[in-house]
Chain A
């Protein structure tokens, strides 16, 4: 189960950073545009765009291993989720509705730390691919001592 504090964090407009690797263990990173915890408290769904994350999606289809670091821009509270991808599929209207909720909070966070509105508005988040993930580990990642400890 994902601890409640982490569930709350993930629903506050966090920035989403995704790490994967290929068959040769070469790492790849990308940005995610939306994340939420599924009702069972064990799975999360992440949205990626095909254009910005092509290599990441190849890696996920190849081995399914994923790391996601989520950080709230205004206070740097950060966590990392590790997991295995159970499904990669095109985003649905329901996914886009969840993305809109996340986006509103995320844009608010970015503007609060001084990112100009026109830059925030210009981020391309659609069309998206939905990635369903079974979470296998949750780690505290807020900068400082204690970062990296399992929650």
Chain B
């Protein structure tokens, strides 16, 4: 093996803990020390982690003089390697610590020593030099091609695992959607994303979450078959468009249309689709579940050649998780589970607060706030119901169940994902009227919190 080309990855069999490693350190007074190490963990191409269980001489020496020499052995041929290390930091929480701690605990519990063998920290060292120790064994080192390529996890695969775990931890639909977009940004650099859910009855896709745009665009709609997003929903296949021509930029088209109808006399009842007007590439993947398209996940970028087949594949996997999560949330019980958080009492000095005027248009179930379009259809009716009860009965807390059973709202009887309507409503309020908030109070329950004087009016049909 070419020593100059040795990397930590070449040493993979050494990190399986089969032959114990040793660590040499030196005290400030020059006294050397050598001891065994429970675990040498591969962290990344430039770092290893060493388990710290006991306050011992090694720890003391490292604190005084942060250099160490570790000898690891490849158990296949007893080939030894020296690693020259420099201590960087200690981690006592996080995934690496947890993984090392769990391994140690398993060993300790086998030996009935759970209290004694406890990982205090994962000490992270930078690897400054790797040396193959010559003249240790007469056996040849196994050739490179004998190594399983799967031992070191590919970063995208690791990221997908983390994303899957985070999505499965989401407590509610809103958290699930936010987590998905956040993760696509954090792990894959997809800074501009949006998620639209299908309303099969109306043949529309409605934006329920977005990330990376000045306006969240929640509530904006695209028809099935319209533009990139609508086409993906109909075809139920992912689509990637590079070098986008103006006419293909659906976001821009919808925005233009919205602007066109909002003259000085016209009132705009369209929410513009979020989107980069000069995107170079867009990817849209359907959220598929048992042959149904539940929605479309979209990413776009200004940078050419950054959204490629890799991103499409990663998004498709995330979209699959999302589809399962969304479907699951539709089946969750509405039984309210309360949490112990105080509900803000209605203000007794209401008259001193600044006013916000909400107007409900019965003709199209549309609500305007201070003359600006807020929301329509079912979420519009939900908000109106809440605001009316707040005004008439001073109610602040509501349950999904009571609203679901309210026939005036006109909710479909079966398989309606009520939570998506609340998310939409909540986000529209955040964008257009942040003084009025719908705050979750545990599953199936929420409260109306407001710091303004709400004035209601109605326009009959």
Residues of A within 8 A of B (CB): 17-21, 25-31, 49-52, 63, 65-69, 71, 78, 80, 82, 115, 118-120, 122-124, 139, 141, 143-145, 147-148
Contacts and interface: CB of A to CB of B under 8 A. Distances in A.
B4 to A, nearest CB: 18
Given A19-B24, A124-B135, A147-B54, A65 B30 contact: yes
Given A27-B25, A145-B54, A19 B33 contact: yes
A69 B34 contact: yes
B22 A29 contact: yes
B31 interface: yes
A65 B133 contact: no
A18 B67 CA distance: 16
B57 A29 contact: no
A119 B78 contact: yes
B389 to A, nearest CB: 65
Contacts of B77: 119, 122
A68, A69, A118 interface centre (most CB from chain B within 10 Å): A69
B66 to A, nearest CB: 11
A71 B36 contact: yes
Nearest to B57: A148
Interface string B248-272: 0000000000000000000000000
Tier of interface size on chain B: 35 or more
B32 A27 contact: yes
B136 A124 contact: yes
B68 A124 contact: no
B78 A67 contact: no
B135 A28 contact: no
A31 B71 contact: yes
Given A26-B26, A52-B80, A123 B137 contact: yes
A122 B34 contact: no
Contacts of B341: none
A141 B57 CA distance: 10
7 contacts: A26-B26, A118-B139, A122-B77, A122-B78, A124-B136, A141-B35, A141-B36
Nearest to A15: B20
B34 A80 contact: yes
A28 B31 CA distance: 12
Contacts of A118: 139
Given A26-B67, A29-B71, A144-B116, A80 B136 contact: no
B456 to A, nearest CB: 71
B34 A67 contact: yes
A119 B36 contact: no
A14 to B, nearest CB: 12
Contacts of A49: 135
Contacts of A66: 32
Nearest to A17: B22
Contact of B24 (A67, A71, A145): A67
Interface in B55-77: 56-57, 65, 67-71, 75, 77
Given A18-B34, A67-B32, A27 B136 contact: no
